[in-house]
Structure 1
Amino acid sequence: MSAPRFGSLRDGPSPVAQGSETFTELAHAGGARVERIASRAVRQGEWYEQGWAEFVLLVQGGAILAFADGTSHALSPGDWAHLPAKCRHRVAATAADGETIWLAVHFPPEA
């Protein structure tokens, strides 16, 4: 039997420079992954189009998610988004005054 683990989303590696990100896996089970993402990055011209659904919660900072259909959505601390598999999206902006921290849950791909 494993022992409980504890931590804080505010603790962890920080991106060093504008344009960088750090990813820290916090847990995984049954094909799902939970990770902390610290970002000072913007994905100009790069799209994510993952084969799995993802739930993201913005913990600190701010961000704008852009979608391939031309829409965008601003996120503030406490806001979340559920992105279905194959949803083309990118981070169009992050907080200018510091890092943006996300909690991301990656669901296993559907068969």
Structure 2
Amino acid sequence: MTPRFGSLRDGPSPDAQGAETFTELAASGAARVERIASRSVRGGEWYDQPWPEFVLLVAGSATLAFADGTTRALHPGDWCLLPAGCRHRVAETGEQALWLAVHLPPGAIPPAA
């Protein structure tokens, strides 16, 4: 088997303000790894997924908003583990934010902090 290489910096950028692009990098069963690029999202779409998701902000800045009204500012290197059913959205980014997202299988129990 031959290794595959790439760069998170390579890939499509959102073509409009308030847009996101999603590129699947790897998948196995119910687990997926994605590259996400977000551009100046404000009041974006709510996500409420039936699986846990780990997101790492690679470049740019972003603010995540949650259904309970709380927000969290993120900077490069910051990550968040979103449990299944955690209603969230990207409320704002700098000019562009670059993310690495790992979608875990439904029912997966992430390690405790």
Contact 2:18 2:44 in 1 (8 A): no
What is the TM-score when the length of structure 1 is the normalising length? Answer: 0.90
Task: Report what 1:81 is aligned to.
Answer: 80
Q: Count matched residues.
A: 108
Query: Gapped runs of 5+ residues in structure 2?
Result: 109-113
Specify the code of the residue in structure 2 equivalent to 1:36. R
2:19 equivalent in structure 1: 20
Report the counterpart of residue 40 of structure 1 in structure 2: 39
Does the residue aligned with 2:8 lie in a helix, a strand or coil? coil
SS of the residue 1:81 aligns to: strand
Structure 1 residues 80 and 44, CA gap change in structure 2 (3 angstroms) = same
1:64 — aligned with what? 63
When the two chains are superposed, the root-mean-square deviation of aligned CA atoms in Å is: 1.5
After TM superposition, where is structure 1 displaced by more than 4 Å over at least 4 residues in a row? none
Once the 2 structures are TM-superposed, how far is the Cα of residue 29 of structure 1 from its aligned partner?
A: 1.3
TM-score by length of 2: 0.89
Please show how residues 3-14 of structure 1 align to structure 2 within 5 Å.
3-14=2-13
Structure 1 residue aligned with 2:105 = 108
Q: Which runs of 5+ in 1 are unaligned?
A: none
